[in-house]
Structures are given as structure tokens and as C-alpha cells.
Structure 1
Amino acid sequence: MNEPVNAEQRVMDGSTWSDFCDALKAAGALVDAEKAPQDAFTRAEGYRYLSRMLRAGLESFLEAGDPRFPELRCPAHETIKLGADNPDNHYQTATIDPQYDYRITGTRGTVNYLGFGTVINRYSSGGGMKTDGWLDSRDMEINPDGTLEIIVSQRQQPGNWLPMGPETNSLNVRQTFQDRRNETRAEIRIERLGAEHERPDPLSPEKLDRALQGAVQFIRSTTGLFEGWAASFLPTLNQVAPADQAFCQAIGGDPNIYYFHSAWALAPDEALLIEAPVVPACQTWNFVLQNWWMESLDFRYHQIHFNKHTATYEDDGGVVIVVAHEQPPQANWVETAGHHSGTLCWRWIGASEHPPVHARVVKFSELGTLPGRRR
């Protein structure tokens, strides 16, 4: 019987890198998923998506994967997007371990919503994400000068306490803006209690080998999970349909959010007219247009989402949004940014009621006679 090859041997003979490259090449087959559009534009975005997932995986497993020295990093932003990311959010995450206790400190800022969650993150194995503990800044003790402190542990603590479970492996933070230009982001950091005089270990062959394998597994599992989810929206094409809320929570959804997910597809002369006749009392709401891979479209250069603060309302308090290839007469225009199909998401955030949102395809030429025209 052959002796198992250890990580040092794998690094020395190049197997670590070769296996990583081979697995990365095999992951490209995800772009050929059965129900994924096979036009060159969507495939190009698919390969870019894989490159983005690679960056996310390497940051998570290789650069910031030590729970003894956790680092809050931003896993989804302008050029790394996954799982119906919200452009109104600043996402942060850190690897943690329930055998340790942690302290989060910083300043609250003025961002509209700040939430902390401990989770069991199984994205790399295709198992989604389960929330163990949740802490909303509205329920926290914040000092008069805006500073805050949270203890993260399995054992209950006085003050602001964020519980962990025996399988917790990650901390997630969501900062949700309504007006990014005028709101100030919370500035926070995390440290392991008792680590003041310790330093991280140098990179080892074992860590490198394990991290590269983990990064590729993350690409395969995460991309496959969300591609399959996008395909499941096809029966509600061009609707704003309530999602399976239990599934949303199982893959890391915010407990304060009620989600709607669907697919969309428009011909060059068509538009999607979306009407929310009743807007409930809520912390906020938002609508986001995405590509097939469930990435928000490029919000740096295009108006691809609206929220409670940025939308123009009807006289009766309702909201009309138009998804169109060119500017319509309605005020709330969501640009398709060169896309003709994809996915979409509507969120009621912090609402006790979740009224329906209606959508229908119309000819672009008809928009001048329909609701929501500029006044």
C-alpha cells in the first residue's frame, strides 16, 4: 500500500499547483449549465464570474482564513458579486472559531442599518449558510460618542453579546445604506480575546495545499448553487415572485428581509413595468436588476436599483419602476446595461407586512400612456 503523499511533497513536486490548475479548468464547465443562456455575452460574463469567485475564494481560504487572527474583509463589492448581492449593502465577513471568544469594536457611523450575524458557512461544500446568532444595532447599547463593543462567544456575556453555536465558523456584517453619499459607514474591527501578544504562524505547505483546494471547491459549489437557483426562477419569468423564504435563510439571507426573486427577459422593443401599489411601513426596501449569474449589474455606471430613499413615489404612495433598454417617461428607470435577460430581486426590509409586487411586459411605445409618468 502506498504511503499518503503529504503536503510538503505535493508542494515540492508541484502537485499542489497542478491539481489547483486542473480543478480550476474543470470548473469552467459550470458556464455550460443546461439552462444557462448560451449567447457569447452571457458566457463571457460567466467566465468573468468564475474569475471573481476565484478571487473571493483565495481571499477567504488563503489570505484571511485563520480564526485565531480574524480579519473583517469585504467579500462582495463592485467587482466581486454573488448570490443577488445588494448594491445598497457594504458586506463584511471574518473567519471565526467557537472555541475562542472575540471582541468587535468601532464606531456606529450613520449608516441606516447595521446587523451582525454568526453563521455556519458551508458554501464551499454546497450546503449554504445557517445563522446561529443575530444582533441588530437598533437593539444594542451604543455609547454617546458613537463607539460600540460586542462580545462574540458561546457563553452569554453582559452588554452587547453575539452568540455562537458549536459549529459557527464565520461572522457576517451587513451595513445597508439608503443614501451612500450622505451616510457614514460603521468602522469596525474584530480581535480574538487573549491574542494581544501572539502572532500568526508563517505560511506552511499544509496551509497552502488546503487553501488552494478550498478555493476551487468554493468556486464549484457556490457557482453551482446560484446557477441552479437562477434556473429555478424561470417559471416566474417577468414576474416579481415571492421567494422560498426558508431557502433564502438557509443560504445566508438576512432575517429582517422578505425576498422576491424572478428571472426576466425583454425584447429590444419591450419594457418590464413593475408596480408596488402598497409600500408597507419598513426600514427600507429595494429593487435590483441582475444578470443570469445573479450578479447585480454595474451600479458604478448605470442606474440598476432603487430603494426607499432614491425612488420617486406616486401620489397615492405606491411605486412604479420600469426596466427598459432606453429611458422611459417614468421617473424610476432601471437600466438593462446591455443585457436582454437575467434575474431580479425585490426586498422588503424590516417590514411586518409583505404586500405583493406586480410586473408585466409592455411595449416600450406604450409607456407614455401608463402609470408613473413624470410630472
Structure 2
Amino acid sequence: MTQEISAPHARTFMTRRLGRLASVIAAILIVASVSYALGTFNARDTISRPDMSWALGSAAAIKISDLSISLEHAANAIRERNPKASEASLGKAYDYLGGLLAASVEMHIAKGDPLQPEFTNWMSDYRKFLGDSPDAIYSTAPIEADGEYEVAITTGSADYLGFVVYERNPIIGWNRAADSTSIVPDAENSVFRIRLTSESSDKTSQSKKLDTVLGESAGSTEISEGAESALSILSHDDVSGFRMRNIGSNSQQATLKLSASSHLIMVREYFFDSEPRQPSRLTIKRLRTSATSIAGLITQTGTPGQDATSFETRAENAVNFFNQTWQGSLALADALKETTNSFDRPATVSPDFVGIFYPTPDNDYHGGSFSLAPGDALVVEGEVPVAAFWSITLQDHWMQSIESNGEPASLKGSEITNRQGNYRVWISDTPPPEGEDWLNTGGASEGLVAIRYLLSDQAPAPTARLRTLNSGSNDTAQSASEL
């Protein structure tokens, strides 16, 4: 009797529990659905363009807006240039802008305080600009013109390190070298220090002895203030001998002079051999703050001695660098189209224009643009330079080195055949005649050719001309023999 009564009660109890569980599950699903819907709505709302009034009254907010607008303006300008561009083409252009923006933010915002300077490695797998070389590492740090700094270098496996202080042209604002020096280390983990100063000094400290940079065995020849570099002074000798010079002591000191408009130091590390590549360890320390900077800090913070450059100043520098770089790269590519498939200088390019691209006194630069139909080749010919290092690099019109389908973007001088003091390199997507040196465009029909002669002994400029690569072996062999 008891068992017959308890069974219905048990069933009722279980039914009630299941009903409550179902209600809880339903409530959870409703809350989750509402939360998802609200989250989706909020996410869409987050990326919608706000009214510009949000930035009014704040210099920092306006600069953030300027940076955002600069990216959008650049993307719009690129699409307006070619409204029918493919998604793949646009994606490549936007990859370039994204990498350039990342470099601009790191270089000028995150590490852009000349009172607390840090080095930025410009190039990486995802960012290339301003004519990078696959054989070099580029590092920069901001400086103030009337400050004082010390750069400490512990060398890696680089064969050559060049240091250039850049100033702004007072008329056009473009970059030019204010002072420079260089190091040819004889071993890894060699330690060097370079002092950057705007202070005037007597003749003894203004002249640098070669043994400061190259070691005691280099002698005591003096280098006058403002000289391009110790190595460039001696580059009219047998440059190949520099690699064999003994640095001497494991701690060397040099001095670079800061001009009234100096704003940046760049370190270029060149690797003459392919592997391994161990970057140098670079640090920069501010030794003295200018009176102008101290006054500015007190005005901004009300507290003397607090090291900080305002965000709006750093962000403005990032905006300027971003816009000048992409616009300058396009302007140069457009100008070079006037002399396509030759290395003639376009009439519309001023010699000062190269200041946008941070030129170095250590290099002689040559090159131009190419435009190739299927089966065409641009044949580059020149006299093998007496140089510490030289290379020929393919770039796209964004001045990025291109490596298509795993093919190298560059040939070093050591990889190019010396033909009785001359060289010849074919640039094409079709293999050249047997025995010829070749840079494969990987199917790219247009681009740039950049040639660097490092510490060259005034080598004549190379030339380029268009050739046709025929499918028949006899024709191609004849074309090669005619060159």
C-alpha cells in the first residue's frame, strides 16, 4: 500500500524538478541570446565613425584623429588612382600602409621621446618601406638638436655599421646628413661608444683619429669635423682591405656633431655574407637635456625634471612620417615612369628630393623603373665597382624589396659574375640565356631596380636597356653574345 502511494509522488516530484531545470535552461538561453545580440550591436557601434566633435578641446585627441584620418586618406587615394584595382592589389597596398603605420607608431609614439630615446628596428617580415635592402638592418632613435647622447654598440655578425645623424633642411624640411661615421668590426661582441653632442670644442676634440674607429694600427690621420666617415675618407684606397684591418682595443669612442636641426640617428648594419645574421645590441642614453626641453617640461607638467615629450608632439611626428613616406614613395615611382627601362634621371626629380628617403653618404645609389611585357628583360650592365659591398635589388613601386615565389629579391656583388671587370644582370620573369646572372621578377610586370655601391671608389653609373627573350635557344644565345 505504501509503495503504491509513493510512486505517484515520486513521479510528481521528478516532473517538477525537470520543469524547474527546463525553466533555468530557457532563462540561460534567453540571457545568452540577449547578451550576444547586445554584444554584436555594441561591437558594430564601437567601430562606427564618431562625430568629429569628440576630439575638440584636446590636442592629444585631435592627433589621434589625424592619425586615423591619414590612414583612411591614404587608402582612399590609392583606390582613386586605380578604381578597377583587384582585391589582391588593394590588399597588398593596404598591407604596406598597415606596416608603415605600425612603424610610425613604434618609431614616433612608443619610442619617439628624444628625452628617453630607444632604437626602433624599421624593417621586419611584415613591414618594409623607403627602399629596404635584404642585406641590411636599419635602426633609428630620436634625438634633440641641443641635447647630448651616448650610443653603445656591442657588435653582432654585421660586416659594416654606418651611423648617420640626420638634420632637416631649413628651407624644404627634407632630411640630409649632418654628420656620420662607420665601424668595420673584426669580431663579434666588440664594444663601441659614440657620443652625440652639439657643444663646440677645441680643434683637438673636433678632429677624430682613425684609430678611434679602426684601431691603433690604422695610424693617426685626422678626420676634420663633419667628415662623412673614417672609412669614406680612405675609400680611395683598396676598400677590400678594410675588412682585414684590426680594430685594436675592445672599447672605442667616436664623436658625432649635432647641428641646430638634428632630429634622428640611424644605424645601418650590412651583412656581406648570407648567414648567420646576429644583429648588434644598440642602446642610446641621454646625457644632458637642453634648456629648451626643461622649460617645455615645466610648462607641460608644472614639475621640473619630469622626463616626457607630450603625446600630441609624438603623434604629430608619427602622422608626418606616415604621410611623407607613402606620398614620397608614390611620387618617386611616378617620376621614374618618365624614364622607364633606363637609369636616366627624370627631369621632374630634384636632387634634394632624395632627402625624403634618408640618404647616406656611405652609398652611391643608382637605378630606375622597369615595365616588362611577357618575354621582355631589362639588362643591367656596369663596371664592377671597387667597393666594400654592392648589390642589385628588385622593389615594387612602394619601394619594398620583393621576393616572389621564394626567389631572392637581391643579388650581392659576390654573387654576380665578374666579366673582365664588368657585370651583366638580366631582370625578367623568363630565364635568360645559360650562364647569365638573373633576378626573377616572379611575374611582376612593373617595379623598381635599386643598386647600392657601399664605399665605392667613384665607379661609373650602370646602364639598363630593354631586350627580348625569345623562346628559341639560338635567338637567346645570339642576344647574349651581342651584349
Which residue of the other structure, out of 409, 418, 424, is the alignment partner of 1:304?
409
Aligned partner of 1:98 in structure 2 is 145
Summarize the alignment of residues 236-251 of structure 1 with structure 2, pairs less than 5 Å apart: 236-241=339-344, 246-248=352-354, 251=357
Aligned ranges 1:307-346 → 2 under 5 Å = 307-314=412-419, 316-328=420-432, 329-346=434-451
Letter in 1 for 2:181: L
Two-structure CA RMSD over aligned residues (Å): 3.4
* Residue aligned with 1:274, SS: strand
Distance of aligned partners of 1:161 and 1:299 in 2 relative to their CA distance in 1, 3 Å threshold: farther
1:83 is aligned, of 130, 144, 161, to: 130
Q: Determine helix, strand or coil for the equivalent of 1:169.
A: strand
Deviation at 1:213, TM superposition (A): 4.3
Alignment CA distance shift 1:167-1:38 (3 Å):
farther
2:93 & 2:173 partners in 1: Cα distance? 22
Cα shift at 1:110: 4.6
1:26 alignment counterpart? 73
Deviation, structure 1 residue 39: 4.1
Question: Which residue does the alignment assign to 1:271?
Answer: 377
> What per-residue deviation string (whole Å, max 9, x for no partner) do you get for residues 251-299 of structure 1?
42111222113110111221222222x2131112211111112211138
Residue 17 (structure 1) shift = 4.8
List gaps (5 residues or longer) in structure 2: 1-54, 209-252, 290-304
Q: How does 1:165-314 map to 2 (within 5 A)?
A: 165-182=259-276, 184-193=278-287, 207=311, 209-241=312-344, 246-248=352-354, 251-276=357-382, 278-298=383-403, 301-314=406-419
Label 1:126 to 1:74 Cα distance change in 2 as closer, same or farther (>3 A).
farther
Amino acid at match of 1:369: Q
CA drift at 1:97: 1.1
Looking at structure 1, the residues matched to 178 and 306 of structure 2 have their Cα atoms a distance apart, in angstroms, of 29
Residue 108 of structure 2 contacts residue 315 of structure 2 at CA under 8 Å; is this kept in 1?
Answer: yes
Change over 3 Å in CA distance of 1:331–1:303 after alignment to 2 = farther
Q: Given that residues 248 and 259 in structure 1 are in contact (C-alpha distance below 8 angstroms), is that contact kept between their aligned partners in structure 2?
A: no
**Larger RCO of the pair (alpha carbons < 8 Å, separation 6+):** 1
Residues in 2 aligned to 1:135 and 1:337: alpha-carbon distance in whole angstroms? 38
CA–CA distance in 2 between the matches of 1:372 and 1:182? 38
Q: Which amino acid aligns with 1:149?
A: R
Question: 1:296 aligns to what SS in structure 2?
Answer: coil
Structure with more helix by fraction: 2
Letter in 2 for 1:351: S
Equivalent position of 1:49 in the other structure: 96
Indicate the larger mover: 52-61 or 326-335: 326-335
Rounded to whole Å, the distance in 2 between the matches of 1:227 and 1:369 is 38
Q: 1:347 to 1:23 in 2, by over 3 A?
A: closer
Cα distance in 2 for residues equivalent to 1:262 and 1:357: 11
- Partner amino acid, structure 2, of 1:133: D
Instruction: Check whether the contact 2:366–2:450 (CA below 8 A) recurs between aligned residues.
Output: yes
**Aligned in 2, Cα 1:27/1:191: closer, same or farther, shift over 3 Å?**
same
Match of 1:73 in 2: 120
Aligned counterpart in structure 2 of residue 130 of structure 1, from 168, 176, 190: 176
SS at match of 2:272: coil
Residue type at the aligned position of 1:47: Y
Match of 1:7 in 2: 58
CA distance in 2, matches of 1:351, 1:37: 44
- Gap regions ≥5 residues in structure 1: none
How far apart, in 1, do the equivalents of 2:351 and 2:388 lie? 19
Q: By how many angstroms is 1:53 displaced?
A: 1.4
- Residue type of the partner of 1:295? Q
Deviation (angstroms), 1:250 = 6.4
Q: Secondary structure at the match of 1:84?
A: coil
Inter-CA distance 218–150: structure 2 relative to 1 (3 Å threshold)? closer
CA contact (8 A) 1:126 1:221 kept: no
In the other structure, the counterpart of 2:248 is: none
C-alpha distance in 1, partners of 2:106/2:195?
Answer: 25
Within 2, Cα distance between the matches of 1:252 and 1:127?
12
What one-letter code is carried by the residue in structure 2 that aligns with 1:108? T
Q: d(CA) in 2 for partners of 1:176 and 1:169?
A: 23
State the match for 1:355 in structure 2.
Answer: 460
Q: Secondary structure at the match of 1:334?
A: strand
Return the TM-score normalized by structure 1.
0.82
Instruction: State the Cα distance separating 1:241 from its structure 2 match.
Output: 3.5
Give the aligned length: 353
Separation in 2 of the partners of 1:90 and 1:346?
Answer: 17
Over 3 Å counting, the alpha-carbon distance change for 1:349 and 1:106 in structure 2 is: closer
Taking the aligned partners of 1:19 and 1:236, their CA distance within structure 2 comes to 36
For 1:352, give the aligned amino acid: D
Distance 2:481 2:279 in 1: 33
**Which structure would you say has the larger Rg?**
2
Q: Relative to 1, partners in 2 of residues 1:37 and 1:324: Cα closer, same or farther, differing over 3 Å?
A: farther
Residue 163 (structure 2) aligns with: 116
1:146 aligns with 2:193: no
Equivalent position amino acid for 1:181 in 2:
E
